[in-house]
Amino acid sequence: MSSLQELSHRHEDEARLAESETVPRGAPILELRGLQKKYGLVEALKPATITFLAGEIHAIVGENGAGKSTLIKLLTGVIRRTAGEVLWCGRPVQLSTPNEAISRGINAVHQEVVLCPHLSVAANMFLGDEMNRNGLMRKGAMERAAQAALDDLGFQLPAAAVLGSLTIGQQQLVATARAAMRGIRFLIFDEPTAYLTRQESAQLFRLIRRLREEGVTIVYISHRMEEVFELADRVSVLRDGTHVGTRLIGETNENELIALMINRSIEQIYHKEKVAAGDVIVETRGLSGPGFTDVSLSVRSGEIVGLYGLIGAGRSEFALGLYGRQPVTAGEIFWDGRKVDIANERAAMELGIALAPESRRDQGLCLNLPIGLNINLPVFRRLSSGPVIRRRDEAENADRQIRNLAIKTPSRAVLASAMSGGNQQKIVIGKWLSHGARLFIFDEPTVGVDVGTKAEIYRLFGELLKQGAGIILISSYLPEVYELSDRLHVFRGGRLVASHDYRAASHEDVLTQAIGA
């Protein structure tokens, strides 16, 4: 047995359970029959009948709000179903608590890392399930076991390292290792590659395929079509809480899936608005600061300048320097041909720069405050007469942005935390639309955002360009930045290493420049 399997069968009862509930490869291991979840009158998941087979990689695709999270929560015992049946290895089960799911070997790796950054990797992997002898933890043994498991999985991570010192991508891998260690019968991945580098994604895929060889069923949820087609055996589509179909990967294509998801075609998604480029809005010459060195580029009105690179290549750091959040140590910035000094964020805003930052949660939103307050935050001065806010203008401004961006909320008083990823991103963007900026910096605007919202955001880019704005688009998702940029700059190690005109280089060239291979 691999060290992973040894770890997951540490508990006798789990081992026994695992032996008694086995199903041959290819046979149904988890069957949902009319599984439904209602919150009051709202049907988060309409009666769904889906069968998961043992040893398959089953992808699930669908827009945000389509019911994917609800499905995951039902399967992992976080919420209880309103109606329907769930059969595990042919027998009806409740799955009413997370522990029940875990004891059967059903585990999930979530989009956001929910571990303890102050503890070590090994401690996190064994959290809640520590090795004990007579009440004392066997730290040495746990560390060794954790390291063995990580090596077994092919993740090059030190088990003794403090989790918070790793990159987000690496932390995701630890979360994956933890889940794989718990119960490897049924593993659900929710947008696992959002924060992973290309290498880490490759490691993850190797692990997923290996688990499949060992008979584990993988449920893979992702917005990235190319990953779905690379990995999955079958794919199910959810739309508006309904299960609209399941296909064998070989018998379908991206167009059909997208059509099932949103009733729109792929050509309409990467909609490149051809706008005549105007004057140069901003130019940087030899700009350096924390995390970036000697960056020279310019942005004209009506154009999208793309910054591509791996995570940590210095693009976000450059953006924060331009925005006045971080001090610039060398170089110059020219705005409309005039040399300027951007001392802080307010100075940047006054010039006409807007920043939609990389992390919605940490930098973009005040999650426990209402959507309306978030949207109005940059423009409250304009909405006030003296010290007092003009309430009607405040309400109108928020409502207008909610309408403009089609943010799905019954009112502006709802807290931002209640929104899905795509809607949250719209709030982040909506903040800046009434500000009247001329340069928009979008840092990873479509991470964790569903296809339909992505298309809306791209269309919004087009409208901003038509109004004469310039856009800096920072993205680690090559198809996106490749299709949309009029000029594409590649960053590596804090420097701008290459520049290309629209689609002038190949995907491979750009990738090579980013990796530095």
Would you tell me which residues interact with other proteins (CB under 8 A)? 42-45, 64-67, 69-70, 240-241, 262-263, 323, 325, 345-346, 349, 355, 357, 362-370, 373, 376-378, 380-381, 383-384, 387-389, 391, 406, 408-411, 413-415, 418-420, 431, 452
Least CB distance from residue 154 to other proteins, whole Å? 35
**Cβ–Cβ < 8 Å for 245, 256:** no
Contact of 395 with 372, CB cutoff 8 Å: yes
Exposure b/e, 231-254, CB count within 10 A at least 16 = b: bbbbbbbbbebbbeebbebeebee
> In this complex, which beta carbon is closest to other proteins, that of residue 179 or of residue 407?
407
- Minimum CB–partner distance for residue 384 and other proteins (Å): 5
The nearer residue to other proteins, 44 or 211, going by C-beta atoms, is 44
In the three-class reduction of DSSP (H, G, I as helix; E, B as strand; rest coil), residue 308 is classed as strand
Pick between residue 67 and residue 169 the one whose CB is nearest to other proteins: 67
Of residues 69 and 203, the one with the C-beta less far from other proteins: 69
CB of 238 to other proteins, least distance (A): 9
Q: In the complex with other proteins, which residue's Cβ is closer, 65 or 445? A: 65
Minimum distance of other proteins from residue 79's CB (angstroms) = 12
Contact (CB, 8 A) for 431 and 378: yes
C-beta of 3 vs 424, nearer to other proteins: 424
Structure tokens at 100: 């029940």
- Classify residue 131 by burial, with Cβ atoms within 10 Å: 0-12, 13-18, 19+: middle
Inter-helix orientation angle 254-262/451-466, to 10°: 90
Closer Cβ to other proteins, 414 or 497, answer by number = 414
431 burial type by CB count under 10 A (0-12 exposed, 13-18 middle, 19+ buried): buried
Range 478-481, long-range pairs (CB < 8 A, 24+ positions): 478/308, 478/507, 478/510, 478/511, 479/226, 479/270, 480/270, 480/446, 480/454, 481/306, 481/307, 481/308
User: How many whole angstroms separate alpha carbon 481 and alpha carbon 311?
Assistant: 14
Q: Which helix (H) or strand (E) element contains residue 35?
A: strand 28-39
Task: Output the smallest distance, CB 385 to other proteins, in A.
Answer: 10
Of 206 and 271, nearer to other proteins (C-beta) is: 271
The 3-state DSSP class for residue 488 equals strand
Report in angstroms how near the CB of residue 388 gets to other proteins at its nearest: 5
User: In the bound complex, what is the minimum distance in angstroms from residue 368's beta carbon to other proteins?
Assistant: 5
Residue for token pair 């307010």: 346
Least separation in angstroms between CB 455 and other proteins: 11
